[in-house]
Chains A and B, each alone.
Chain A
C-alpha cells in the first residue's frame, strides 16, 4: 500500500509510534523515525524494520526544539530523497491535578505534543506543497476531545492538535495534501502502564478492553494510503467506543 513512499514518524521507537513504523514498513514504506532519548529501544525498532526489507533510519531529535526539527527533516530529505508521509506521534505526559501542576509541567507537555507537531508540519509543508501530495497524520487523544481529570496540560495539547490539524487541512486541501488526526483512547503502551491494570477503567470502555498499538497503526495505515485521499481535517476516535 505504501511502496515507494518514505514515512517520517516521531516518537517511533516505542508504543504506538513503533507499531506505526512496523505497519508502514510491512506495507512497503521506507521509514525515518525520530526518538527522544531511548537509544536501546530505537536500535531494537530499527532492527525490526530492517528485517522487513525496507530502508530505515533512526534519528535522535527533540521535536520541541524548532531548529532541531527543521534540521532533522532536511537530513531525512537528503538521506531518503523525499518525504511523502508525516506521522506526529511524539508525546509526553506530566499528569497532575491543576494546583500541583507547575507552569513548567504545562509548558513541557505543550512544547512536545503541540509545538513539536507544528514544527514538523512546518518542515514538510514546502516539500508537500511542491510535490502537490502528502499525508500528515497527527496523534491526538480522546483526552483532547473530552478532557480528563489530571491531564489539563495533556488534554490542552491534544485539543490544540485537533485545531492545528483542521487549519493545516484547510490550508493544503486545494493541493491534494491530507491532514488528519487520530484520537486514541486507552491504548496499552509504556505511557499508560500505570492504569492498564485498572479494571474499573476497562469497564468504562464499551468494548471492555484496552486498545493495542496495532489497532492504531491500522488506522494510520489507512490515513497514510491512497485509500483515504478524499479525507482531510478529520479526527477519528479509536477508543473501543469510550468517548461516544
Chain B
C-alpha cells in the first residue's frame, strides 16, 4: 500500500505511468533530487498522518523510502 502510494505520487510528479516505477528504481535515474525526495516525504507524512525524522536514513531507491515509511507505521 505504501509502495503504491509512492508510485502514484511519483507518477503524478513525473507525468509517467505508475507501473514504470519499481521498488528498485533509484531516484537519481528518475531525475529526482534530494529536495524532491524531501518533498515526497513531507507529502507522505500528510498522507499517512505520521511524522518522519529526516536526515538519518539514506534514501536512494523507492524501496528505501517504502521501508522507512513502513517502519513508522508499525
Q: Tell whether A pairs with B.
A: yes
A interface residue numbers (CB < 8 A to B):
126, 129-130, 171-172, 174-175
A174 / chain B contacts, CB cutoff of 8 Å:
33, 35
B53 / chain A contacts, CB cutoff of 8 Å:
none
Contact assessment for A126 and B35 in the assembled complex, using a CB-CB cutoff below 8 Å = no
B16 within 8 A of A: no
Q: How many A-B residue pairs have CB under 8 A?
A: 13
Closest CB in chain B relative to A175 CB, distance in Å: 7
Q: Which residue of B has the minimal Cβ distance to A127?
A: B42
B33 / chain A contacts, CB cutoff of 8 Å:
174
Interface class of chain B by DSSP: helix
B39 / chain A contacts, CB cutoff of 8 Å:
129-130
B14 / chain A contacts, CB cutoff of 8 Å:
none
Q: Which residue of B has the minimal Cβ distance to A126?
A: B42
B interface residue numbers (CB < 8 A to A):
33, 35, 38-39, 42
A175 / chain B contacts, CB cutoff of 8 Å:
35
Q: Which residue of A has the minimal Cβ distance to B38?
A: A129
User: What 3 pairs across the A-B complex have the smallest Cβ distances?
Assistant: A126-B42, A129-B39, A130-B42
B38 / chain A contacts, CB cutoff of 8 Å:
126, 129
Contact assessment for B35 and A171 in the assembled complex, using a CB-CB cutoff below 8 Å = yes
Can you list 13 A-B pairs with a CB-CB distance of less than 8 A? Answer: A126-B38, A126-B42, A129-B35, A129-B38, A129-B39, A129-B42, A130-B39, A130-B42, A171-B35, A172-B35, A174-B33, A174-B35, A175-B35
A171 / chain B contacts, CB cutoff of 8 Å:
35
Given A126-B38, A129-B35, A174-B33, 10 additional A-B pairs, CB 8 A: A126-B42, A129-B38, A129-B39, A129-B42, A130-B39, A130-B42, A171-B35, A172-B35, A174-B35, A175-B35
Q: For the complex, give the distance between the alpha carbons of A172 and B39 in Å.
A: 12
Q: Which residue of B has the minimal Cβ distance to A175?
A: B35
Closest CB in chain B relative to A103 CB, distance in Å: 28
Q: For the complex, give the distance between the alpha carbons of A175 and B42 in Å.
A: 15
B35 / chain A contacts, CB cutoff of 8 Å:
129, 171-172, 174-175
Q: Which residue of B has the minimal Cβ distance to A171?
A: B35
Q: Which residue of B has the minimal Cβ distance to A125?
A: B38
Q: Which residue of A has the minimal Cβ distance to B33?
A: A174
Q: For the complex, give the distance between the alpha carbons of A175 and B38 in Å.
A: 12
A129 / chain B contacts, CB cutoff of 8 Å:
35, 38-39, 42
Q: For the complex, give the distance between the alpha carbons of A126 and B42 in Å.
A: 8
Q: For the complex, give the distance between the alpha carbons of A174 and B42 in Å.
A: 18
Q: Which residue of A has the minimal Cβ distance to B46?
A: A130
